[in-house]
Structure 1
Amino acid sequence: MKTSFIKNFIKGVKIGFDKHSPEILIGLGIASAITSTVLAVKATPKAMELIEKEQKKHNREVSKTMTGNEDGKVFGCKLKPVDIVRVTWKCYIPAAISGTASVAFLLGSNSVHAKRNAAIATAYKLSETALTDYKKEVIETIGEEKAKLIQDKIAQKHVDEHPVSNNQVIIAGSGKQLCYDGISGRYFESDIQTIRAAVNTINETMVYEMYASLGDFYNEIGLPPTTLSDELGWNLDDGQLEISYGSAISDDGRPCITLDYHVAPRYDFAKLG
């Protein structure tokens, strides 16, 4: 019974550490950096004492060489930097070890984050590919018209779940048509012509620069950026930006154009090759 409890406890600790290892490593890194500073401050008085003793010893040696006695009454003969380091370096060994540990902890945290982000990006790519294949298969199986009806039903569901009466409507341009962006969940007023022109501009950008961010697209249609819009985008390797325009009715009775992105924006969009 006790053995089973201990095994489960150790397993739980391991799972908890694996889950929160970046936060733990960052905390240890910060703690080690603070410890390093404290140890360096504490070591300084001892180092100054050793420097003072070495200076007196140096003065006696110079005095003996110049005057033949060791009264040490020689001025202007300061220790060289190399002599100061030779005398005091041992005082700062604990601080150096703690500082090295701090760097190691922080680098470890960054490594864990990088591995997790790579895993997330891979999983996202697989899901995106599967969804794209699924959409193509649906269209081939039931036809474009029925697929469009399904898309409109899904769009209507999203609009119903996020009623316009509970959201701010952004005035994005001269158009007065109510629109709904599925990625940011925002309502805005625009028109099909403005959105299509923005899509063309983004695709032109991708032809020359190989990628474009979601923030670039929002800027083209007059929407303010979000906290993640500059971190997400499209790469030409995945194809150009293509949007399907669904139709729905908002809770206040207005017809609403919904934006469905054929290729979802991704995090590592700026990665070339």
Structure 2
Amino acid sequence: MKPKLSQTVGRTLKKASPTILTCIGAVGVVATAVLAVKATPKALEMVRADSRKNHDGDPYAATKVEVVKSCWKCYVPAVATGAATVICIFGANTLNRRQQASLASAYALVSRQYNDYKRKLKELYGEEAHKKVMEALAVEQVDKDHFISAPGLVGSSSLDFEDANEEERLFYDPISKRYFQSTISKVLQAEYHLNRNFALGGGFITLNDFYTFLGIEKIPEGDAIGWMVSDGLYWVDFNHSKAMVDDGLNGEIECYIIDVDFPPVTEEEYDPYL
């Protein structure tokens, strides 16, 4: 256990060494200035004392060379600290460049292996299998730190439970024709808060409002289309269904489809006079 712990600590320190040296350099800059300021009164006293001794009692007659000879020892700590600071700064820069070079090498290796994988996949299973794999990988990543809430009379309203540790599932949005990963409760919260804003605010709610609650990227036309309060429409009904989709690699997996009874349209399309 001890060798493993020491190895882990060693690797962690090695990775963090540029940051550590940068922090030490920042502290060193401040320390150098403080030491220089503290040394100045003592240095002035020594210069004046030597000037009186060498120039018949005149404390301000010392030459520049005599000033340096009189007070240089007072600034040794500040100079040493400054030199160490410079070394830390250059050392951090050197280590950072090495890490960047290592990352670039690793990226090149991964890229080469990925290209080899694509080539071999096409050779063994054909172009169609490659397309299925790429489509399965094109699952939009939800903002996992996204907190769903809406303003209320007293404060913000939310149904979220912290650290719920729910299982993420695959969802499909037919309107934007894209897949995304999320939890069932997150999706239900997004639908609830969209309808809550719809009922309380009235007027027009956009498709991008829904995507914002889901934590996925907005679409360009999503701010222009949505749902408006009108005769017979005061609530957006969502329909959920489950289907099996082939990811092209591991076989069929469950996918939850989110559909609506009334698709979003522009505000003008709701106007009976247009």
- For normalisation by structure 2, the TM-score amounts to 0.49
- For normalisation by structure 1, the TM-score amounts to 0.49
